[in-house]
Structure 1
């Protein structure tokens, strides 16, 4: 998997990295059990601080997409579904657009509650 970052992007570097992992999972380019590059190596390759990569990995861990273990590194979780990843990406895009329009958490939550299938 090839990682890239755009320093000119308004999206934080850690989120760019996490987004690339999410996208690769959704496209089936990486699968459960595969290891992601060590944070130190990826940071050096991208020219970013190692803590930026660790922040991206922590986000992915919190989302249940990867497991982080000392000495074992970052491993794609066995519970990953492409549908869930796609839904998460859509939710992120929705929240980002809502924030851009000045909506707060309560407004966003109310809007979601109004939506009916």
Structure 2
């Protein structure tokens, strides 16, 4: 599994870690039952604070892509890589829309219109 960060990115380091893991899930590098690197090890590898890694892992847990288990670490729970791909694509979409100057309500309306077939 490859986790990359870009210190010049406007995304937080925690979000970048979560995004890297999502991409690894989406491309099949990570599968259900696989363990993520221990936070301390990944933090050392990336030369960042361990709590930043834990925040990234917490984002993935909140998305129900991983479980954080005491003594076992972070374990992939998502059955379908498509869920990770959808979440990652959504993150990129929101970032693109915001960089284009769209507000939160404008983004939501755009998606709602597409879902309802009205635009």
- TM over 0.5, yes or no? yes
Render the CA deviation track for 1:30-74: whole Å, top value 9, x for unaligned: 111111111011101110000110010000001111001222210
1:44 maps to 44
- CA–CA separation in structure 1 for the residues paired with 2:48 and 2:103: 31
2:88 is the alignment partner of 1:105: no
1:92 maps to 91
1:33 maps to 33
2:18 maps to 18
Instruction: Give the unaligned 5+ runs of structure 1.
Output: none
Sort the Cα spacing of 1:104 and 1:76 in 2 relative to 1 into closer, same or farther, 3 A.
same
Q: Which TM-score applies when normalising by structure 2?
A: 0.88
Instruction: Give the unaligned 5+ runs of structure 2.
Output: none
- CA–CA separation in structure 1 for the residues paired with 2:8 and 2:104: 28
Aligned-pair distance for 1:29? 0.6
Contact 2:2–2:24, Cα closer than 8 Å, also in 1 = no
RMSD of aligned C-alpha atoms?
Answer: 1.6
1:60 maps to 60
Q: Which TM-score applies when normalising by structure 1?
A: 0.90
Aligned-pair distance for 1:86? 1.6
